[in-house]
Amino acid sequence: MPTDDREPPPGSLLSPRESLRVWVPVGLNSFGGPAGQLAVIHRTVVDEHQIVDEQRYLHALNFCMLLPGPEAMQLATYLGWLSGGVSGGVIAGSAFVLPGAAFMLVISAVYAVAGDVGWVSGLLFGVQAAVIGIVAQAVIAGRALRSPLLVVLAGAAFVAVFLFSAPFPLVVLVALAVGWLVGRRRPDLLAATPRGQDDRDRTPPASAVAARRAAYVALALWLVPVAGLVVVLGRSALLAQQAVLFSQAAVLGFGGAYAVLAFVSQQAVQTYGWLTPSQMVTGLGLAETTPGPLILVCEFVGFVAAYQATPSGVPPLVAGAVAAAVTVWVLFLPSFAFVFLGAPYVERLRHSIGLSSALAAVTAVVVGVIADLAVWFTIHVVFDQSRAVTVGPFDLELPVPGSLDVWAAALAVVGAVLLFRVRLAMLEVLGICAVLGLLVTLAGWH
């Protein structure tokens, strides 16, 4: 299989059946968050099937890191396009998402129907406690603040969200502007450096026209249903609100799923009141146990919100399933569009120092936003009650000290120790904490 930037001649492309054989196992085994998913993709395309070499894999990964949305799903789509044309890209991206979406649909339905059953509640209690350490790990590991200015930007983002309840889209837009302006004169302040180029890298693939057409189709399939729901049902309808909200999440999804989750939590819990904080934490914990992108937690949000607000005459499970389908549709169609639009001209994006600086700034503020999410989760898991406090321009949510849940705090500490000291895998930590939560609940201690 050729490994330069030109798409192989039609005769050497993988057939749809061959693409399915490559990518379905990837989708079924993509546990462990982005790091684990990228490892599965690497093992499949570089080591096992030798679709690309190491350099070409990193080239594709660097491009996908520039895009909003789940980078592992986008990397699968890009490599599927490279090896199988547009059909290969669609198959790869779909195979990466659909198994996890199916798991999440089942889990959401079980939670909605049996979430109050004693033993189920016990398991979910332990999962909620483990989530605190998992989110904290996302802040500490995986994102290095490599310059003083990046540290300042992360701190400013935390203050803006925690003290002033600044909306996530505004934080991202300000970071993009600051990064772009600083990067034009002093990119070193953001630890952004231009990459070298060569003539081969600037050669667009032969299938650029087909990819561009596929991108336009993906954009239409995304935007037309959203507009239809808003026009037909009205902006106040739940499905229309979900279509708009999760479309925004897809477009503003720089920095990974936890950053998007901070935005979705702010809107779904505080603005719309679809879910309680406890349900939001539970959704993240359940999403950690399924294959596929972590952003599938939004499917849980969509399902539970519709299940709980079912209009008369509509079975709750049907309403939840429809909302889940709408959520998955608007979350991932934009990623197909972004990949097919950008892949043929990837080097024009990768070698822009202004864009690299802007995204470095966004990555920094995402650390602050995720830190706020960790604090928010801790308040709502470890304490039974919280209260809103306004002091001048500051708008805070603080826990009520007397409402401390000792067992939730203890399980959160256990989860953190297992993650940071024992260094167990995420699924192992979730499993252990779930069993401990069940035992505590069955013993009548919680």
Ranges 57-66, 95-104, 367-376: which has the least confidence: 57-66
Cα–Cα distance measured from residue 95 to residue 76, given in angstroms and rounded to the nearest whole number: 9
Number of folded domains that form the chain: 1
Q: Which amino acid is at 50?
A: Q
Say if 176 falls within a structural domain: yes
What CA–CA distance (Å, rounded) separates 387 from 395?
11
Token output for 366? 């995402």
In tens, the pLDDT along 374-425 reads: 888 898 889 988 888 887 777 788 889 899 999 999 999 999 999 889 988 7
Residue 224 has pLDDT above 80, yes or no: yes
Distance CA 28, CA 336 (A): 20
| Three-state SS at 277 | helix
Half-sphere exposure for 300 (CA within 13 Å, toward CB): 32
Q: How does pLDDT run across 244-282, given as a tens digit for each residue?
A: 999 999 988 776 677 788 889 889 998 999 999 989 988
Q: Which residues touch 95 (CB under 8 Å, ≥6 apart)?
A: 20, 23, 24, 26, 27, 76
pTM for the model: 0.76
Residue 369 in domain: yes
Decide if 32 contacts 25 (C-beta within 8 A): no
The per-residue pLDDT of the chain, averaged, comes to 84
Distances (CA, A) of 27 to 37, 93, 337: 9, 9, 20
Residues 6+ apart with CB under 8 A from 30: 36, 37, 40, 41, 72, 96, 100, 291, 292
Structure tokens at 312: 């008369």
Residue 214 located in a structural domain = yes
User: Which run of H or E residues covers position 233?
Assistant: helix 208-233
Token pair listed for 268: 């779904």
With b for 16 or more beta-carbon neighbours within 10 A and e for fewer, the 336-360 pattern comes to: bbbbbbbbbbbbebbebbbbbbbbb
Site of tokens 């044309």: 85
Domain assignment of residue 41, yes or no: no
**C-alpha dihedral sign at 221, 224, 228, 229:** positive
**Cα separation of 41 and 25, whole Å?**
10
Q: What pLDDT digit, counting tens, does each position of 164-208 carry?
A: 888 877 888 898 899 999 988 888 898 866 554 444 444 344 467
Whether 48 is covered by a domain: the verdict is no
**Domain range spanning residue 342?**
100-442
Residue 73 lies in a domain: no
Tell me the pLDDT tens digit for each residue of 363-385: 788 788 888 888 888 988 899 88
Tokens describing residue 296: 């599938």
The structure tokens listed for 316 are 């709750």
Residue 200 lies in a domain: yes
